[in-house]
Structure 1
Amino acid sequence: MRIIYFTDTFYPTTNGIVTSIISFSRELADRGHEVCIIVPDNPGVWDFEYHGIEILPMKGFPAFFYPDFKITFIFTPSLIQKIRKFKPDIIHYHTQFILGWQAIVLGKILKIPRIGTFHTYIADEWYLKVIGLENFHIFGELGWKYNNFFYEHCEHVISPSVNAREELIDHGIPAEKISLLPNPLPIEKKTALIHMDIATNTSNIIFSIGRLSKEKSFDVCIETIYLVSKKIPDVCFVIVGDGPERENLEELSRKLGIENNVRFLGKIPHEELMNSDIFARSKCFLTASTTETQGITIIEAMSFGLPIVWVDEKWVGEMIEDNGYKAKAGSAEELAGYCITLLEDAELWKKFSEKSFQIVKKYDVRKLTDNLEAIYVTTMKHGPRRK
């Protein structure tokens, strides 16, 4: 098959959408399929290379409301020509923004079946806060109308979690049009891990990954570590990721007097991170985010046997099966209590760790790509035909 992906976020950005796209693309290319990925022309995008995968960057400009997000220009005749030359069998888009609309329009023009993956609910309360519209509740309703209108223009919808699928159905997307397909992870035995220097000798390491932006609630995580440090003074919170809130989070650490307990490692290339020993040295993975459809960083943490401490977030909760603790959203006190329990109870930690290793097997990219191929074949069979 020849498959075209459209996405507004891609390498070298590190997030769950990028990891999912790259994991599926590589596995599809390894199976002999041809993959073309249309992305914003961000610095570093040309550094991505893999056999059987072609990258087509689109020019654009940074969004005023989200500096790392680029708004691409409308498609050009040259892009249409390149797509015609590629002769795609299917279009698969991972965005509800400009490139997603280009995927829809080009699919209609060229008579190519389209699939859309529902990664993000764009009118979530946190995202509305980012652009200053959190007090305008009508935007929540309009967000779902926009979302539905968007996915009505594709032949099939992929949801990465059960709860996300139920949300789509509750808001009017037909159940028969939606397939459940979790985000994948290459499941390989971890050997010869590279040591990462984090300037600490403690064994009480709590780990987290993510974009340092308001919707990820890292401020709650830092408040959690402050409370943990009162009971376990040598606790070390290691954060991988960068973003607009980094300076505020560093200031919060200093204000709470725990700057020596927090390590901001910044952006680390995904493969380098996954081949490092930082996961294996950590005692648990901590997240306070309430904006995930399926947290792939949690899957990555479980692949190293980490217990998970998270907040009451329905789309993440279905991933956890007796291998972690759930706290009330925004409650640093509850999160801290659970972290302390895992750091102090070795037997419980071992039980949760073994369970994480078991759970993560169902996210193996090889098994999930089998399902993705089947979705593509079915969609092609029932989708529009080229004239």
Structure 2
Amino acid sequence: MAKDRLNIALVSDFFCPNTGGVETHIYFLAKCLLARGHKVIVITHAYGERRGIRYLSNGLKVYYLPFLIVYNGASLGQGPASFPWFRQIFISEDIQIVHGHSSFSTLAHEALMHAGILGLHTVFTDHSLFGFADASAILINFLLIQYSFANVDRFICVSYTSKENTVLRAQLDPQRVYTIPNAIETSFFYPDRKQFFENPTTVIFLGRLAYRKGADLLCEVIPTVCHRYPNVQFLIGGDGPKRVDLEEMREKYGLHERVRMLGMLPHNRVREVLVQGQIFINTSLTEAFCMSIVEAASCGLHVVSTKVGGVPEVLPDEFVILEQPVPKLLARALCDAIKMRETGRLMDPDERHKRVQKMYQWEVIAERTEVVYYDAMHDHVNTWRERLQRLLSLQRWWGLVWCWGNLLGFAIALFMEWWQPRKTLRETTAKTKTQ
């Protein structure tokens, strides 16, 4: 089995041309799986005029489905109504493994449900950490995650902290959950020695300016550090609801010349901004795996970060200063990093880049993900009765709602099989390809 070629569908609401950790992960994972000889497609929702079937420069085939976007880039749930779309794609592409990404992606959850109805194997990668006490977390854990994950074959989490979080939230068997970190394309993130040594001490922040990303912490840390070090500058890339707070902080303390707001950055400009500094600060309040600190380290920057979630697992101690998400403590940690810079005690940027190259490689991530696929392929495919029994075993009343949704999906599947049999659909697809 280990040498079999697989037909894989990667599904998420979050993909190119949008930028972000999930989008980058799917793109480079698909690229490496293609290089390993597998057939890979991506299914996502339409982005503006980008809809229908598109081929990316690396030969990756992408289905941009015309689904309505309702919140934060996620599509409106179609339920059983989206089954014909997924059935058409899965059968015509002869898909064996459906791999969903991100707990926030409605499209991924629907794809897992429809794949199960069609008897396909399923894998899910969880990229986020959730709480257990706030109302939104309770709602998504209880109403969605447990039931959506009930019949998934295997799971991947991007850190050990993320694995523990997912196992507890979804009540999963830990033996079915793998830990595989993210990676970066280090050839895109390399140092600029001239700017590193000749630019004044510059601290970089790149991320969404929102509460979860610690924008409030940043508002308190910056004035403290600027007061202690009059020559230090800050570059802030990103946008979000907390941008106004940062603008007000800058005006209140008269820091317009020292704190530059760059706004939202396309991914191809990230390296251009990172290499202008020597220190990177991450103020996130929760993170499963922080891609931005790996990108910064690859560009030769020293990292100061909050000690939350899976962040302590990402970089070795000599690359990062970790501190609790408390303004006074984080400001002190940043001042320590600035002192290291001014006394010439920071690691050489090229040496840091070489070490990151050895830590995170997409080829290794793809190889490890491949192992998960083959493991899932050995699993027994649940019958319709077994799927319904698993849903009912979680919680009877809400389980009944999910059972009715699955039963409706089964009914649509039977109708579609009568109206357009798989054999006919495959023959039509093969005829189209030869023309």
Equivalent position of 2:87 in the other structure: 80
**Change beyond 3 A, Cα 1:143–1:123:** farther
Equivalent position of 1:131 in the other structure: none
> Displacement of 1:301 after TM fit?
1.2
Within-5 A mapping of 1:340-351: 340-346=335-341, 347-350=344-347
- State the secondary structure of the residue aligned to 1:188: helix
> Displacement of 1:335 after TM fit?
1.8
CA contact (8 A) 1:304 1:357 kept: no
Q: 2-side partners of 1:191 and 1:295: how far apart?
A: 18
Equivalent position of 1:183 in the other structure: 182
Unpaired segments ≥5 residues, structure 1: 126-133
CA contact (8 A) 1:113 1:384 kept: yes
| CA offsets 1:278-306 (integer angstroms, 9 cap, x no match) | 32331111111122110111111121222
Equivalent position of 2:173 in the other structure: 174
Q: Does 2:232 match 1:235? A: yes
CA contact (8 A) 2:298 2:352 kept: no
> Displacement of 1:50 after TM fit?
3.0
Equivalent position of 2:7 in the other structure: 2
Q: Does 2:92 match 1:100? A: no
Within-5 A mapping of 1:87-126: 87-96=94-103, 97-123=105-131
> Displacement of 1:352 after TM fit?
9.4
Q: 1-side partners of 2:206 and 2:251: how far apart?
A: 20
| CA offsets 1:250-276 (integer angstroms, 9 cap, x no match) | 2332233223222222233223434x3
> Displacement of 1:5 after TM fit?
1.2
CA contact (8 A) 1:159 1:181 kept: yes
Q: 1-side partners of 2:10 and 2:67: how far apart?
A: 18
Q: 2-side partners of 1:190 and 1:108: how far apart?
A: 39
> How many residues matched?
367
CA contact (8 A) 1:287 1:311 kept: yes
**Change beyond 3 A, Cα 1:70–1:190:** closer
Q: 2-side partners of 1:187 and 1:20: how far apart?
A: 13
Q: Which amino acid aligns with 1:52?
A: G
Within-5 A mapping of 1:1-387: 1-43=6-48, 45=50, 49-63=56-70, 66-71=71-76, 73-74=78-79, 75=82, 77-96=84-103, 97-123=105-131, 134=134, 136=135, 140-145=137-142, 146-171=144-169, 172-188=171-187, 202-274=199-271, 276=272, 278-322=273-317, 323-329=319-325, 331-346=326-341, 347-350=344-347, 354=351, 357-359=354-356, 361-384=358-381
The structure that has the greater radius of gyration is: 2
**Change beyond 3 A, Cα 1:3–1:122:** same
CA contact (8 A) 1:284 1:306 kept: yes
Q: 1-side partners of 2:216 and 2:208: how far apart?
A: 12
CA contact (8 A) 1:34 1:53 kept: no
**Change beyond 3 A, Cα 1:124–1:295:** farther
- State the secondary structure of the residue aligned to 2:163: helix
- State the secondary structure of the residue aligned to 2:366: helix
Q: Which amino acid aligns with 2:41?
A: C
Q: 2-side partners of 1:148 and 1:106: how far apart?
A: 16
Aligned alpha-carbon RMSD (Å): 3.1
**Change beyond 3 A, Cα 1:109–1:314:** closer
| Stretch moving more, 159-168 or 94-103 | 94-103
**Change beyond 3 A, Cα 1:285–1:383:** farther
> Displacement of 1:52 after TM fit?
3.0
**Change beyond 3 A, Cα 1:383–1:115:** farther
Q: 1-side partners of 2:73 and 2:251: how far apart?
A: 26
- Identity among equivalent pairs (%): 23
Q: Which amino acid aligns with 1:178?
A: V
| CA offsets 1:159-193 (integer angstroms, 9 cap, x no match) | 10011112233453111101110012123386697
TM-score (norm 1): 0.84
CA contact (8 A) 1:58 1:73 kept: no
Q: Which amino acid aligns with 1:149?
A: Y
| Stretch moving more, 36-45 or 205-214 | 36-45
> Displacement of 1:206 after TM fit?
0.9
- State the secondary structure of the residue aligned to 2:48: coil
> Displacement of 1:225 after TM fit?
1.6
**Change beyond 3 A, Cα 1:188–1:164:** same
> Displacement of 1:6 after TM fit?
1.3
> Displacement of 1:8 after TM fit?
1.8
CA contact (8 A) 1:305 1:357 kept: no
> Displacement of 1:332 after TM fit?
2.2
Q: 1-side partners of 2:26 and 2:159: how far apart?
A: 16
| CA offsets 1:198-247 (integer angstroms, 9 cap, x no match) | xxx95211112212222111231232121111122232222222233333
More helix by share: 2
Q: 1-side partners of 2:145 and 2:20: how far apart?
A: 21
Q: 2-side partners of 1:352 and 1:311: how far apart?
A: 22
**Change beyond 3 A, Cα 1:26–1:281:** same
Q: Which amino acid aligns with 1:364?
A: Q
CA contact (8 A) 2:190 2:353 kept: no
Q: 2-side partners of 1:312 and 1:175: how far apart?
A: 25
Q: Which amino acid aligns with 2:32?
A: E
